[in-house]
Structure 1
Amino acid sequence: MRILCTNDDGIHAPGLKIVEQIARALSDDVWIVAPELDQSGVSHSLSLNDPLRLREVGPRHFAVRGTPTDCVIMGARHILRDKMPDVVLSGVNKGRNVAEDVVYSGTIAGALEGTILGLPSFALSQEFTAQSRENPMWDAALEFGPPILSKVISAGVPKNTVINVNFPACAPGEVAGVRVTRQGKRNLGFLKIDQRRDGRGNPYFWIGFERLAKVDIPEEGTDLWALASRYVSVTPLRLDRTDEAFSEALTAMLK
């Protein structure tokens, strides 16, 4: 089994080493194609107006000056073009990718591109706490990642589905188990605009985050609930975003 690994945190990110270890627990044929620079939050963007620079950083390890989407395309269509990968792994992201994160996440996008190419694809993310932000506990991902991937790959992944896996911020022995979940919804009041001035007095802005005065209790069965309860969250995400229920109502409305 040939596995192509990517991420959105960059070629030197600690989580990329973790996803490589997970991949090597499943196969000896592992290839790494990751962004040269941090691409967090770029979503499923594709470089069309800028050239892609490819750099070999080691045996079967390549850096692309582009997005996670670019990396998967370069890996599958150029580097491995004579023998396409069988599986795409994207991650392990430093920080969870749940709820609305899946829209913004470059980690999810790397897996989405694998799915578009017709390959079973997984996005892997490691939650951290305020205390473990600088040094996330990767052991949960290392212990639970390989058996989860092995079971899902053996069972088969539908052609238009991405498997989004999030590991809780705790030691493996504290993990309550594994739950198949649905995408949750979070209070987005934590987004803020931070205005500052540069050395010449001109304004510039950062999109940032602030602590919520009140944290909503996540709905049971969601990815947010699973992590809060110390479960590994496994969420199948469909590539087809058609709202079937509203489509029927809209059809009747527009007759």
Structure 2
Amino acid sequence: MLRILITNDDGIDALGIKKLAEAALTLEEAEIYVVAPSEEKSGVGHGLTYRSALSPEERDFYGMPVKAWAINGNPADCVKAAYHLLFEENQKPDIVLSGINVGTNLGRDIYYSGTCSGAREAVILGMPGVALSYDNWEDQENYGDVVEMIRPLIQAFCEKAKRDTLPPEVFWNVNIPHLPLKEVKGILPAALSLHHYEDRYHQEAEGYFLTRTYPDGIPLAEPQDYHLLKHGYIAVTPVHIDATDKALLREMEEWPLVKAWGERG
């Protein structure tokens, strides 16, 4: 039996999470659990709820053969609460799938994204996590061929999870182009593109709103997620949750202040 936990940040009623469950249900011997926010929680990052109570509410999920709950919290809350409250110690999920997000989560977005936080929280709790996002921000009701696109990728991750061959401290960030399946060029490993947009604020009557501008030309100069996606590839990025700069850590040992304190001992 393959036990899959699904969450998202667009809310349990979003179309993207329905598509993700459809893809997961095509896998053999898959037992699907959906635990998602009761309302949209985009951009909440890895926020946790601890000053108020969480109240899981069991829900029907589009008539699908899955067990589903809505939670009055964030994506990280959903994964953490599901792990501790809904599963027995010897029946934890084999893998957590988060998404499918409306719009992409590329580069720096992984720090703001509730979708990515669902996958990251899975890894923190010792489970493999995969975040999936779809480049349909300008066409939000259209998920095209996304189920067919992600099915083999999900299957590959799930098979590795069952064999326990996925690295323990990594979540996977997947971005899918909004193209017909026949026009997708392939699946490629991708580095994070950290400088492909610029954030600005503009003033309206109510106050200041955050806006984002993107470059006009998109050369495929480096294997980065934004550039690969815009050139028709599914971009897959392994994101290590240990953000320590190990090389700089060793360099710090030579700092005069550090050495001076060391010599005092």
TM-score by length of 1: 0.89
Matches within 5 A, 1:155-174: 155=160, 156-174=165-183
Taking a change above 3 Å as real, the CA distance of residues 102 and 210 of structure 1, as seen in their structure-2 partners, is: closer
Q: Match of 1:91?
A: 99
Q: Match of 2:112?
A: 104
**1: CA distance, partners of 2:150 / 2:214:** 31
Q: Match of 1:220?
A: 222
**2: CA distance, partners of 1:76 / 1:151:** 23
Q: Match of 1:135?
A: 141
Taking a change above 3 Å as real, the CA distance of residues 213 and 7 of structure 1, as seen in their structure-2 partners, is: closer
Quick one: percent identity of the two aligned structures?
Answer: 31
**2: CA distance, partners of 1:24 / 1:173:** 23
Q: Match of 1:61?
A: 68
TM-score by length of 2: 0.86
Q: Match of 2:47?
A: 45
Taking a change above 3 Å as real, the CA distance of residues 49 and 248 of structure 1, as seen in their structure-2 partners, is: same
Deviation at 1:74, TM superposition (A): 1.5
Taking a change above 3 Å as real, the CA distance of residues 212 and 121 of structure 1, as seen in their structure-2 partners, is: closer
Matches within 5 A, 1:219-238: 219-238=221-240
Taking a change above 3 Å as real, the CA distance of residues 192 and 205 of structure 1, as seen in their structure-2 partners, is: closer
The alignment status of 1:147 with 2:152, answered yes or no, reads: yes
Letter in 2 for 1:9: D
Unaligned runs of 5+ in 1: 198-203
**2: CA distance, partners of 1:112 / 1:138:** 27
Deviation at 1:19, TM superposition (A): 1.0
**1: CA distance, partners of 2:203 / 2:167:** 42
**2: CA distance, partners of 1:180 / 1:212:** 22
Q: Which has the larger radius of gyration?
A: 2
Matches within 5 A, 1:23-42: 23-26=24-27, 27-42=29-44
Letter in 2 for 1:52: L
What is the root-mean-square deviation of aligned Cα atoms in Å? Answer: 1.9
Taking a change above 3 Å as real, the CA distance of residues 93 and 181 of structure 1, as seen in their structure-2 partners, is: same
Is contact 1:137–1:171 with CA below 8 Å preserved after alignment?
no
**2: CA distance, partners of 1:113 / 1:218:** 32
**1: CA distance, partners of 2:220 / 2:211:** 19
> Helix, strand or coil for the counterpart of 1:43?
coil
Letter in 1 for 2:244: T
Is contact 2:7–2:118 with CA below 8 Å preserved after alignment?
yes
Is contact 2:24–2:154 with CA below 8 Å preserved after alignment?
no
**1: CA distance, partners of 2:116 / 2:77:** 13
